[in-house]
Structure 1
Amino acid sequence: MGSTEMSETPDIAGQLTWIAVDWGSSNLRVWGLDQHDQVIAQASSDKGMLSLKADKYEAELLRLVGDWLPTTGTTKVMVCGMAGARQGWLEAAYLPVPTRLDQLSQGAVTPTLTGDQLGVYLLPGLSQTRGTATHFDVMRGEETQLAGLVADSPDFTGLACLPGTHAKWATLEAGAVSGFSTYLTGELYQLLANQSVLKHSVLSPSAAKDDLNDAACRETFISAVSDIHQAPETFSSRLFGLRAQDLLDGRLPAGDTRGAVLAARLSGLAIGLELAGACRECPSDKPITLIGNQTLSQRYTLALNAIGYQTKHVDGDTAVLAGLRLAHRALT
């Protein structure tokens, strides 16, 4: 069904000013904020876009936040993520880049509700076409994290990476997204590890998630990043070479450690290929900002350091809340 977690703040209804929502494909997260934009309550559920029909969104939201609401008036709700997708609650059309991140709320849409307790604003994603770039691309949800990055630095200029199943790389110029690219690195790794011939050699992704805590795995990962970054055209060949190494290399350890080392190499090859494209024209004297969870950001930091780049890290949850705050302020 779902879970609810709230900070120990009495009289939430008396302090609640607005609600922030991150509605993903698989999960829903909500935060109640006061007049100072401080979180006073939070809740979550597993009712993401993939498990809801359009007419069920309002009820699910009220199930989580109903106890927070004052008895009178309408509480504003800022929503980012897949609720605004075509298959979601109500489509919030993509804004074409270049787009200023402090103006996302201008593209928000408001679904029709059965009651007047909530005033919901679904934020748009961003799109890119061949008319403005070399390729088509879209993002939905990540733009709000990028908005969080510029919330305290309105004129931020630089390159930001949001690692994940579909990693996003965005170029920001004076607080606007001028272009971006998506890499299916996380999904590619999962497919190769679980469904290709490599599944006989590498430890499963769930079992190998802490592989970089091991010195041998970490060294193997870094070596793979460097190898493929220098010769990205050899990616497919090196993938099969990983299987051959398992069959022929007597220096590899036995058991799960063997699978973990080979999984680290697969991860390094996949991320290294991504970096070969994403960093092709990126100056190495400027740090790349990573937005996401600590574990994945550490992996990307290792990879980027290996090819000569420095990084900064912004927590993903911190960024999405900051982006929703920025959108809320723009509407008030």
Structure 2
Amino acid sequence: MPITDHVGWIAVDWGSSNLRAWAVTAAGRVLAHGGSERGMLSLASSDYETALLEVVGNWLPASRRTPVLVCGMAGARQGWREAAYLPLPARLDDLARGAVCPPVNDARPAVRLLPGLCQSAAGAFDVMRGEETQLAGLVADDRRFSGLVCLPGTHAKWARLEQGAVTRFTTCLTGELYGLLARQSVLKHSIGADDLAAPGDREAFVFAVRDIHANPGRYTARLFGLRASDLLDAGLPAGDARSARLAARLSGLCVGLELAGMGDELADSGPITLVGNAALCTRYALALEALGHESQRLDGDAAVLAGLGLAYQALPAL
């Protein structure tokens, strides 16, 4: 029996560099998944429908319109069509009320682009687009979920949830900062190609986290110290182990400074929920543990799919 006979709706996570899609039954069972590297940065607004159909076209029944729920950058101002940010506080089981329908020529998909969230308090302006749907995955099974959530990444998000609503959040450019320092600063001669989540040297990472957390004002001095130690420290190992240790120190400095900046938010948090890929969440969990904080992890793909499912459940009320 063809897949089109079973598809109830389609979930899409459309980022800046790629899109991912899942064909899902009305009961929530995933039938198929696919994706492409045609993200927002490579598309004009007129390209989105074609890019979507290249991935999901074979899943769409010809005899009816199928809901297609899309989160992420397709709903940005420079995307397919803007889905305006919802202001805080925002209930995560109510994201569908801000959805917009972009123009489509194919009669089969009924596309809705989900909104992001914005925070406009003076001195704390912030936005997110895509992460709110991962956060919604946390409340899919518990509509009254409360706690502090971290979504590590290029632009790490920290969100406070209270009774199923986002009440405040903070974005940190930790991953982007690491990439710039490792690849475009003087440190590129010492760090090599490791990324923020690379396994590296656990002891060196933890030491750097604790050091900069206790001395955040020394951050730029500690950064140059990495280069100096590469030139002068006879105790460093040779070859790849050397660059791995220095990369772990840089990673620890970047993540540790982020945690220092969270201040009292962390002190009063209780267990912290990490949402994202295993490697990056493991690195953040290690940093949190080094500072005495407990954490738990939810897989990023599972979270976004559950969040899109929550929005799908709200569609009949639209």
Question: Counterpart in 1 of 2:199?
Answer: 211
SS of aligned partner of 2:181 = helix
Q: Is the 8 A contact 1:163 1:297 kept in 2?
A: yes
- Any conservation in 2 of the 1:78–1:120 contact (CA below 8 Å)? yes
Structure 2 residue matching 1:308: 3-state secondary structure: coil
CA RMSD of aligned residues (A): 1.3
Larger deviation, residues 47-56 vs 281-290? 281-290
Residue identity in the other structure for 1:195: Q
Normalized against structure 2, the TM-score is what? 0.97
Report the counterpart of residue 248 of structure 2 in structure 1.
264
- SS at the partner of 2:244? helix
| Inter-partner Cα distance in structure 1 for 2:121 and 2:269 | 30
Match of 1:155 in 2: 144
User: Counterpart of 2:209?
Assistant: 225
> Is 2:181 the counterpart of 1:181?
no
Whole-Å separation in 2 of the counterparts to 1:209 and 1:127: 28
Q: CA deviation at 1:201?
A: 1.4
Once the 2 structures are TM-superposed, how far is the Cα of residue 241 of structure 1 from its aligned partner?
1.1
Q: How is 1:1-332 mapped onto 2 (pairs within 5 angstroms)?
A: 10-131=1-122, 134-205=123-194, 210-212=198-200, 217-283=201-267, 286-332=270-316
| Alignment length (residue pairs) | 316
The answer on whether the counterparts of 2:194 and 2:244 sit within 8 Å (CA) in structure 1 is: no
- The one-letter code matched in structure 2 to 1:264 is A
Structure 2: which amino acid aligns with 1:113? V
Distance between the aligned counterparts of 2:70 and 2:134, measured in 1?
12
AA aligned opposite 2:120? T
CA distance in 2, matches of 1:157, 1:110: 31
Q: 2:269, 2:275 → 1: CA distance? A: 19
For 1:24 and 1:316, locate their aligned partners in 2 and report how far apart those are by CA, in whole Å: 13
TM-score, with normalisation over the residues of structure 1? 0.93
Aligned equivalent of 1:6: none
Q: Which amino acid aligns with 2:257?
A: L
Q: 1:209 to 1:182 in 2, by over 3 A?
A: closer
Assess if the C-alpha contact under 8 Å between 1:284 and 1:309 holds in 2.
no
Deviation at 1:279?
Answer: 4.2
Letter in 2 for 1:302: L
Amino acid at match of 2:113: L
SS in 1 for 2:104: coil
Q: Secondary structure at the match of 1:201?
A: helix
- Shift in Å at residue 211 of structure 1? 3.0
Supply the distance in 2 between the matched residues of 1:308 and 1:66 (Cα, whole angstroms): 49
Among the aligned pairs, what percent are the same residue?
59
User: CA offsets per residue over residues 74-128 of structure 1, 9 Å max, x none?
Assistant: 0011000000001100000001111000110000000121132111100000011
Does structure 2 conserve the Cα–Cα contact (< 8 Å) formed by 1:185 and 1:270? yes
Structure 2, gaps ≥5 residues long: none
